[in-house]
């Protein structure tokens, strides 16, 4: 598992992930509920932004949440505990070397994880190894190539491309959403079904303008400014114009579109 995350684990990122989870919670998670007594593995729980929702939507399920970062596990534990949830067990662990035998789980859940991995197909195969026959995997990923907006802006696309390129150089894939179907199929899952979750934002939706366009997406792109410039991926003037143009889409006549992909497959 590559440790060179693009997103990083600083405070601002933590807030951003939390904002993201609050704003997009229904869109991404409302149709994921597991039966009472089911054993669920959350692979790559990070700081627990999704774990809280997962545990809340399946109060009778027993959730094991794993992340490679001890620090993230600690933060996730605090977050879940603060939310008053008691059905999550945390454990530090690497997706590529999980300490679970076959048939350990009824369901696996992985959100915003595969995008960071050099070998997402292998990870999916590893996770399949922990599932009981007939168990399911649910994968949620974004796709930065799905971002478009009004007014359109070449500079904004350049800035977005910097993030995509940096994540690619770190071994990940920021445009993995569109590829979930072939990935799950090639990893051996059956009955794979993918549903896109498009976020469409215009000024009639002020919560999304602020919570998604501004504080989630644009903040994330803005966060790679230094790395992008140091890597020679963009002229600072162009990058800064790109960010300005992304914020421009939050004005009264602007619109912003982005799509997440949710895939479910059976072992």
Residues that bind its own copies (CB under 8 A): 143, 145-146, 148-150, 152, 175, 178-179, 181-182, 185-186, 192-196, 198, 200, 202-204, 252-255, 257, 259
User: Which of 123/201 has CB closer to its own copies?
Assistant: 201
Q: How far is the CB of 122 from its own copies (least distance, A)?
A: 17
User: Which of 3/193 has CB closer to its own copies?
Assistant: 193
User: Which of 17/183 has CB closer to its own copies?
Assistant: 183
Q: How far is the CB of 157 from its own copies (least distance, A)?
A: 10
User: Which of 188/196 has CB closer to its own copies?
Assistant: 196
Helix axes 11-29, 49-57, angle to 10 degrees: 30
Distance (Å) of CA 80 to CA 57, 85, 144, 244, 251: 13, 6, 29, 36, 36
* 3 state DSSP class of 142: coil
Q: How far is the CB of 44 from its own copies (least distance, A)?
A: 22
User: Which of 145/171 has CB closer to its own copies?
Assistant: 145
Judge contact between 194 and 137, C-beta under 8 A.
no
Judge contact between 11 and 47, C-beta under 8 A.
no
Phi, then psi, of 164 in degrees rounded to 5: -60, -45
Q: How far is the CB of 5 from its own copies (least distance, A)?
A: 23
Name the strand (E) or helix (H) holding 179.
Answer: none
DSSP label at 7?
S
Q: How far is the CB of 117 from its own copies (least distance, A)?
A: 17
């Amino acid at each position: 598992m590559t440790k060179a995350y693009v997103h990083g684990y600083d405070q601002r990122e933590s807030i951003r992930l939390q904002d993201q989870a609050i704003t997009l919670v229904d869109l991404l998670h409302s149709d994921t509920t597991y039966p009472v007594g089911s054993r669920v593995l959350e692979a790559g729980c990070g700081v627990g932004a999704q774990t809280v929702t997962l545990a809340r939507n399946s109060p009778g399920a027993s959730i094991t949440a794993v992340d490679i970062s001890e620090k993230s596990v600690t933060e996730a534990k605090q977050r879940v505990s603060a939310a008053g949830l008691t059905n999550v067990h945390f454990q530090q662990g690497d997706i590529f070397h999980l300490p679970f035998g076959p048939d350990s789980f009824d369901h696996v859940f992985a959100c915003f994880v595969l995008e960071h991995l050099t070998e997402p197909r292998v990870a999916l195969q590893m996770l399949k190894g922990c599932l009981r026959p007939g168990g399911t995997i649910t994968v949620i990923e974004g796709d930065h190539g799905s971002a478009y907006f009004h007014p359109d802006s070449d500079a904004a696309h350049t800035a977005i491309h910097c993030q995509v390129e940096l994540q690619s150089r770190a071994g990940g894939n920021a445009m993995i959403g569109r590829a979930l179907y072939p990935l799950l199929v090639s990893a051996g899952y059956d009955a794979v079904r993918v549903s896109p979750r498009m976020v469409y934002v215009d000024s009639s939706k002020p919560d999304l303008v602020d919570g998604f366009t501004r504080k989630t997406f644009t903040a994330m792109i803005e966060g790679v400014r230094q790395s992008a410039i140091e890597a020679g991926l963009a002229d600072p003037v162009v990058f800064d114009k790109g960010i300005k143009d992304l914020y421009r889409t939050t004005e009264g006549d602007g619109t912003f579109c982005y799509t997440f992909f949710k895939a479910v497959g059976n072992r």
